[in-house]
């Protein structure tokens, strides 16, 4: 496997240990990077690391420091950080098995592929994978990697397994603060039927290949236009009718038109309240 392992260690359940390697399951998508430029000269702005009263400093003279009170620091070498003993640096101990639905979608963070480290580990790996699949459970434990310990979940994925890092409870904002002002009303049955029909008509298997980052494409077009125009300012006309906002005038009519495939009439800038 050409890719470099993100983590190497063992999965442990009670007295059973399975040597594994973990690889990132995702990659960064296309991005457009902008630099800060000094407009009069057209040159790039650079930043230097400086100490007040001393000036620029050498990179080799920089170490980590924890500010325990204003302008007072505990200085720590990287060697001291690396020496911190934590079992989860080399061992993923599965301490709990839960239903997949028990983990709220808000807690999932990033996926990784988990593969057996060698042929000897393959049998135990397959047993764990199939046991999780048959019981419809997800393994949960903690894993330390690159200076941080994560809560993680482990579940079958095709012929292998996927590990997903999870957020800690204090990293997830509780929803009630955002949803508490929404009225607890029962929707109209006819409106619900129309909404369900609209959803059914557009139901299809998810295909990620059908989606692309249209903003990145638009930025590339803008950059090409700017180069062609010799750097002159380019502003495209904004179609006000495409802007989100305003309340739906007649929800019933809008749903019916959506289901029937009719094109809704364009709304002007002035909108009446519902």
pLDDT number for residue 269: 42
Please provide the average confidence, as pLDDT, over all residues in the chain.
84
Residue 122 has pLDDT above 50, yes or no: yes
225-274 pLDDT, tens per residue?
A: 888 888 777 776 555 554 555 555 577 787 778 878 754 444 444 444 33
Given a cut of 90, whether residue 147 has pLDDT beyond it is: no
**pLDDT reading at 1 higher than 70:** no
Query: Any idea where the domains of the chain sit in the sequence?
Result: 7-27+84-171, 189-260
For the segment 28-68, what is each residue's pLDDT rounded down to a tens digit? Answer: 877 888 899 998 898 999 888 899 889 989 988 998 998 98
Decide: 81 and 64 in contact? Cβ < 8 Å.
yes
pLDDT value of residue 238? 53
pTM of the model: 0.72
Instruction: Supply the CATH classification number for the domain 7-27+84-171.
Output: 2.40.290.10
DSSP string, 62-121: --EEEEEETTEEEEE-HHHHHT---GGGTEEEEEEEEEGGGS-GGGEEEEEEEEESSHHH
Nearest residue to 251 (alpha-carbon basis) of 171, 167, 194: 194
The winner for highest mean pLDDT among 23-32, 146-155, 261-270 is: 146-155
Axis-axis angle for helices 251-260, 189-201 (nearest 10): 30
Mean pLDDT for the stretch of residues 112-118 = 94
pLDDT confidence of residue 272: 41
The Cα–Cα gap between 95 and 109 comes to: 20
- CB distance 113 to 4 below 8 Å: no
Region 115-143: what's the mean pLDDT? 94
Q: How many CA atoms lie within 13 A of 99 on its CB side?
A: 2
The strand pair at 137-145 and 37-38 is best described as: unpaired
CB count within 10 Å of CB 114 equals: 25
The separation between CA 218 and the C-alpha centre of its own chain, rounded to angstroms, equals 23
**Partner residues linked to 116 by β-bridges:** 20
Taking 3-state DSSP, the helix, strand and coil percentages for the chain, each rounded to the nearest 5, stand at 30, 30, 40
Q: Can you tell me the mean pLDDT for 204-216?
A: 81
Query: Is residue 104 predicted with pLDDT exceeding 90?
Result: yes
């Amino acid at each position: 496997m050409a890719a470099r392992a993100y983590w190497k260690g063992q999965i442990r359940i009670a007295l059973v240990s399975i040597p594994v390697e973990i690889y990132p399951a995702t990659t960064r998508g296309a991005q457009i990077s902008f630099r800060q430029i000094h407009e009069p000269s057209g040159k790039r702005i650079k930043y230097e690391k400086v100490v007040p009263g001393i000036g620029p400093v050498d990179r080799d003279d920089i170490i980590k420091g924890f500010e325990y009170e204003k302008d007072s620091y505990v200085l720590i070498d990287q060697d001291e950080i690396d020496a911190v003993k934590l079992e989860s640096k080399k061992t993923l101990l599965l301490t709990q098995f839960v239903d997949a639905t028990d983990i709220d979608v808000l807690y999932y963070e990033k996926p990784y592929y988990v593969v057996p480290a060698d042929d000897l580990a393959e049998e135990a790996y397959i047993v764990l994978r199939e046991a999780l699949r048959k019981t419809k459970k997800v393994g949960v434990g903690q894993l330390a990697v690159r200076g941080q310990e994560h809560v993680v979940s482990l579940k079958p994925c095709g012929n292998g397994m996927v590990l997903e890092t999870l957020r800690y409870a204090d990293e997830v904002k509780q929803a009630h603060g955002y949803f508490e002002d929404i009225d607890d009303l029962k929707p109209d049955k006819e409106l619900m039927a129309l909404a369900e029909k609209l959803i059914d008509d557009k139901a299809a298997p998810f295909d990620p290949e059908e989606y692309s980052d249209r903003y990145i494409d638009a930025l590339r077009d803008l950059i090409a236009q700017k180069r062609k125009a010799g750097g002159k300012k380019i502003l495209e006309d904004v179609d006000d009718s495409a802007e989100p906002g305003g309340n739906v005038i007649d929800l019933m009519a809008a749903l019916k038109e959506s289901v029937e495939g009719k094109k809704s009439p364009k709304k002007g800038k002035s909108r009446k309240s519902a």
